[in-house]
């Protein structure tokens, strides 16, 4: 509806939970239902900052932990102006990871100094091992407990289609509710 802002829908979770598949299907379904919706993902690897992050994740370069955390954050901030503009125009944004991944993955790192030896599994990106992912999941669970945000937990172990239907219904609700919340509140 004209004058209404779009919803900011963030898909969070551990690696290989199916976020990217679901994000693509969700945007396609929302567009088919007549909404204006676009897909974004973080890290967004195409910018200068994104390239530094991509190289780090691919283990082609080393970066100090605090600086890499801030680069992930900067990579989100460099997109905030265009995100706000789109939301203001009524476009719903489906975002494959956001700041919660930033917290969950950095804190998983901190918890894991003792077993850092699990790294180095050939062919995998940094962080993509069982022990690390388990700690990231614990971190996500903590974030959900503390947060006043509107989290919905979706069981991703079901079929792609079942998960999709649940996310689609939740997203339609979020789009209806978006108009009632001021845009500024999202970035405080």
In this chain, which residue has its C-beta nearest to Mg ion?
A: 15
The answer to whether 129 contacts Mg ion (rule: CB under 5 A) is no
Query: Shortest gap between Cβ of 176 and ligand NYM (angstroms)?
Result: 27
Query: Shortest gap between Cβ of 96 and ligand NYM (angstroms)?
Result: 6
> In this complex, which beta carbon is closest to ligand NYM, that of residue 15 or of residue 172?
15
With CB under 5 to 8 Å by kind, the binding choice for 166 among Mg ion, ligand NYM, none is none
- Span interacting with Mg ion, options 7-15, 31-39, 102-110, 177-185, rule CB under 5 A: 7-15
User: What's the sign of the alpha-carbon dihedral 11, 31, 177, 83?
Assistant: positive
Residue owning tokens 């894991």: 112
List the interface residues with Mg ion, window 8-67 (CB under 5 A): 15
User: Distance between CA atoms of 162 and 95, rounded to whole angstroms?
Assistant: 20
CB–CB of 41/20 below 8 Å? yes
Residue owning tokens 């649940």: 166
User: Distance between CA atoms of 45 and 69, rounded to whole angstroms?
Assistant: 15
With CB under 5 to 8 Å by kind, the binding choice for 97 among ligand NYM, Mg ion, none is ligand NYM
Query: Shortest gap between Cβ of 86 and Mg ion (angstroms)?
Result: 25
> In this complex, which beta carbon is closest to ligand NYM, that of residue 127 or of residue 151?
127
CB–CB of 14/136 below 8 Å? yes
Query: Shortest gap between Cβ of 33 and ligand NYM (angstroms)?
Result: 26
CB–CB of 6/175 below 8 Å? yes
Residue 157's CB is within 10 A of a number of other CB atoms, namely: 9
Sites of contact with Mg ion (CB under 5 A)? 15
């Amino acid at each position: 509806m004209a004058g209404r802002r779009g919803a900011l829908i963030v898909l969070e979770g551990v690696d290989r939970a199916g976020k990217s598949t679901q994000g693509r299907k969700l945007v396609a379904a929302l567009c088919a239902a007549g909404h204006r919706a676009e897909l974004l993902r973080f890290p967004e690897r195409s910018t200068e900052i994104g390239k530094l992050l991509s190289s780090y994740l691919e283990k082609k370069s080393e970066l100090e932990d605090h600086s890499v955390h801030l680069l992930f954050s900067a990579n989100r901030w460099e997109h905030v102006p265009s995100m706000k503009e789109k939301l203001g125009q009524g476009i719903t944004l489906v975002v494959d990871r956001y700041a919660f991944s930033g917290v969950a993955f950095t804190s998983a790192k901190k918890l894991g100094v003792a077993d850092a030896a699990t790294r180095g599994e050939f062919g995998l990106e940094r962080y993509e091992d069982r022990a690390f992912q388990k700690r990231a999941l614990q971190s996500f669970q903590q974030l959900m407990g503390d947060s006043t945000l509107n989290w919905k937990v979706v069981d991703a172990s079901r079929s792609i289609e079942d998960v999709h239907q649940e996310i689609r219904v939740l997203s339609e609700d979020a789009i209806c509710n978006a108009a009632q919340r001021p845009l500024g509140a999202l970035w405080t």
